Structure 1
Amino acid sequence: MTTDFPWLETLQGAAAVDVAARCGLLSDLADGQKCPARPALLEHLLIGAGVTVREAHGLAFTAEFAAAWRADSAAIMARASFIRRAAADVAMGLDEMVFDLPAFMERSATFRLFRYDMAEGTTSEHLNATRPWVDYVEALSRSESPHLVPLINLREGDRILEIGGNTGLMSEALISTYKGVTSRVLDLPAVCALGRERRVVPGLEFCAGDARKPDALAPFDGLIDVVLFKSVLHDWPADDAENMLARAMGILSPGGRVIVCERGAYGPEDAGAKDANTLANMVFSRFYRDPLFYEDIMKRNGFAVTRKSVQLDMMFHATTGTCP
C-alpha cells in the first residue's frame, strides 16, 4: 500500500510538518492568512517535503497537501508527531530495544504517550492525556479500514463487540458495509467519551470497561455474534492476550466468531522499508506476533480457523475462529 501521507515519508518531512503544526503555520496557511516570515530552514523543509510552494505573495500549500489537510488535518498532525517520537526512540534507544526491552519501554517517549491509566476517568485532565494517542490510533484506522473490512466476512444483522475499538472508526466501516450490523465498542472510559464526541452512528454504542478484567465480558454473554480485536492484542504479554481471547470465545454461541486483525511478525522486509513510517512500527516490533499464535489459541478452544491477509505498511492478517 502506498502511504496516504507522502509528506511524511522522510523523517525531515515528518518533523517539519510537526513543527509547522505546533507553531501554527499550517493552520494559518489553511486559513489563507498572510504569514510572517518563518525561519528559512523550516520553509526549505516544507517545500522539500511537498507541503508548500513559494509563490509571489509568500508561502502556500501545494494543491495535494491542501486537499489532504482539509480532509483530515488531525490525522496528518497525529502521524507526524508520532513518527518524530518514534525516530527519537529508535535513534537513541535501539541498544535497549534490542537488549533490554523493559528499560527501553521505561524511557521511551512513544510508550509514555500511551497512558492507559489516564484513560480510566473522564475529567478534562483524563481526556487531554488520552486524546493524543487516540488521535494516532484513529489516523491509522482511517488508512487501514478500507483494506481490512474486505477481509472480514459478516452476516446480515450480526451483533459485534469490538474490544479496544478506540473511537469506533472500524466498527463504523463495518456497519456501513454490511446490512443490519450493529456494534458495541468496549474501551476505557476516556476513549469512549472521545468516541461519543466524534462518532454518532446508528447501530454504534460505546461501553466503558477494561477487557483485561476477568468479568469484563460477562454482560455480553450470549448477546454477541462476533468479537473483534483490531490492533489490540499485540499490546499485551502472551498470557494476557490468550486470556482476553479465551474470554471472548467463551461468550459466543455456536456459529459465533472471534476475529483477530493484527500486523504479523516484524521481519527483514519491514525493517528494510525506505520511508519514515517504518519507525512507528519499529518501536512495537518486539510485540507483533505470527498469526499462528492466535490461530493456535482458537484451535485449542475447539474453534475452526480461517485467515485472510493483505500487505499494508506491514502484512496484516485477519484470523477468524468460528465456534462449533
Structure 2
Amino acid sequence: MGQKQDMEKELGYLCVDGFIKGMVDARTLTTAFEIGLIDALLQKRPAPPEALARDIRCPKNGLDMLLELLATNNVIARTNGTIRLTAEFKEALDYRDLLLAKLDFAHIAAHDFIEYFSQLVADPQGFMQRASMFRLFSYGRCFDASRENLELAQRWVRITTMLTRFEAGVCFKHHEFRNYRRMLDIGGNSGEFALQACRRHQWLKATVFDLPLVCNIGQAHVSGEPEASRIRFIKGDALSDDLPGDFDLVTLKSVLHDWPDQETQLLLHKAAGAVRPGGTLLIFERGPLDIAKTGLPYSLIPILLFAHTFRGPDMYRKSLAAWGFREIDITWIDLETPFFLITAVKPA
C-alpha cells in the first residue's frame, strides 16, 4: 500500500462526521441506535417496514417518521418496498464506537450551546462555571472514587478514548516511534495512546501518568490486551507531583489545551524534565478552530465549547527553544479540525 493510500486508511474514521452534520440528523441517528433499528437492519438485511416495526416493537407511524428522517441523512434507503442501510453508513459502522461517542459528546454540548452561548462569547470564565460540559470534565473529582465520580469519569474517558484510538494512528504516521524503548504519556487518560503505540512496537514499554480515578479506569481498559504487561499506570497530579524521569519519549496528547498559560508552562517544563538527554518530547494537540474552512457541523459543537482554550504551537516552540531543545519540528494536520504535531529533541 502506498503512503498516500496508507494515510487515507488512517483517516477513514472521519467518515462518521458526515452523519452528524445537523442536530436533527444526530438525534434521529441516536434514536435509531437506542431502539434497536440499526442492529435489526444489520441482522435482517433489507426488510419491509412492517417487519422492522414488529421486530423492534415500535408503532408503525413512529417508525415511518424516523425512516424518513434517516433517509434524508443517507443512513437508510428504500428498495422495492424494503429498508436497507446505505453502503456509506455501513462504512461508518466500521467505527461504531467512535460514532456513538461523538453522538454522545455532541448531545452533551448542545444543551450548553443553546443555553449559554452568549456567556461563551462574552464571559468565557462564567460559561465554564455554568456549562454541564465542564462539570462532566471535572478533574477535581478524579481523586475520590465515589460511585458518582466514577460514573462521570467513565463517561468522559469513554469519549476521549474513542477519539484517541483513531487520532493516534494519524500521529504515528507523521512521527516514527520505532527507535523508542521507554515512553511516558502525561495525562494519558485510559492508556489508549500508549496501548496503540505498544501495539505497533513490541519492544516499547509505556508509563501513563494521570489522576487516580482515571488510572483505575485505564488499568481496567488495557487489562485484557496482550500489551498490558508493557503498560504501567502511575497515579498523581502532574501539576503538583513529581514525574518519573529518564524516558526517551515523553508525550502530551490533547492535554495542554486544558490549562491556562501558567499551568501549561509548568506542565511543559515538567514534561521536558522527564525526557532523558537525547530523547524526544512530543506534543499532539488540536489547534484553533478554522470555522471558515471546516464550517461548524453539529459534531463540532463540543469543540466549539473549548474554543477559547485552543492555542497554536508558538508558545510551546518558544519555550522548548529557550530550554535548549533542538530539532523542533511542527507539522499541521487537517482532521475534522486542525491539529499540530510538535517534536523536539533534548540536548545530550
Aligned counterparts of 1:87 and 1:292: Cα–Cα separation in 2: 31
Aligned counterparts of 2:217 and 2:33: Cα–Cα separation in 1: 22
| Residue 212 of structure 1 pairs with residue 238 of structure 2 | yes
Instruction: Pick which of 298-307 and 281-290 moved more.
Output: 298-307
Structure 1 counterpart of 2:57: 36
Quote the offset at 1:30 in angstroms: 5.0
| Residue 262 of structure 1 pairs with residue 249 of structure 2 | no
What is the TM-score with the length of structure 2 in the denominator? 0.81
Structure 1 counterpart of 2:102: 79
Secondary structure of 2:242 counterpart: coil
Give unpaired runs (5+ residues) of structure 2: 1-10, 45-51
Secondary structure of 1:308 counterpart: strand
Structure 2 counterpart of 1:281: 303
Aligned counterparts of 1:116 and 1:27: Cα–Cα separation in 2: 35
Structure 1 counterpart of 2:69: 45
Alignment root-mean-square deviation, CA: 2.7
Aligned counterparts of 1:123 and 1:140: Cα–Cα separation in 2: 26
Give unpaired runs (5+ residues) of structure 1: none
- 8 A contact 2:239–2:266 mirrored in 1: no
Aligned counterparts of 2:83 and 2:150: Cα–Cα separation in 1: 35
- 8 A contact 1:167–1:192 mirrored in 2: yes
Deviation track 1:257-307 (CA, whole Å, cap 9, x = no partner) reads: 21111112234435x515322322211111000100111111121212222
What is the TM-score with the length of structure 1 in the denominator? 0.86
| Residue 88 of structure 1 pairs with residue 111 of structure 2 | yes
Aligned counterparts of 2:106 and 2:151: Cα–Cα separation in 1: 20
Quote the offset at 1:155 in angstroms: 4.5
Structure 2 counterpart of 1:241: 264
Q: What residue identity is the alignment partner of 1:216?
A: D
Aligned counterparts of 2:85 and 2:139: Cα–Cα separation in 1: 36
Q: What residue identity is the alignment partner of 2:15?
A: D
Deviation track 1:78-111 (CA, whole Å, cap 9, x = no partner) reads: 1112112223322332211111011111221322
Structure 2 counterpart of 1:17: 29
Quote the offset at 1:162 in angstroms: 0.6
Pairing 1:157-176 to 2, within 5 Å after superposition: 157-176=180-199
Quote the offset at 1:145 in angstroms: 2.0
- Is the radius of gyration larger for structure 1 or structure 2? 2
Instruction: Pick which of 243-252 and 7-16 moved more.
Output: 7-16
Instruction: Pick which of 74-83 and 198-207 moved more.
Output: 198-207
Aligned counterparts of 1:124 and 1:26: Cα–Cα separation in 2: 32
Name the one with the larger helix percent: 2
Number of aligned residue pairs: give it. Answer: 319
Aligned counterparts of 2:34 and 2:234: Cα–Cα separation in 1: 32
Structure 2 counterpart of 1:294: 316
Q: What residue identity is the alignment partner of 2:240?
A: P
Percent identity among equivalent residues?
26
Deviation track 1:180-219 (CA, whole Å, cap 9, x = no partner) reads: 22211222233223323332242642414234333330xx
Aligned counterparts of 1:87 and 1:243: Cα–Cα separation in 2: 33
Q: What residue identity is the alignment partner of 1:105?
A: M
Q: What residue identity is the alignment partner of 2:231?
A: E
Secondary structure of 2:252 counterpart: strand
Secondary structure of 1:97 counterpart: helix
Find 2:334's aligned residue among 289, 301, 311: 311
Structure 2 counterpart of 1:128: 151
Aligned counterparts of 1:168 and 1:30: Cα–Cα separation in 2: 31
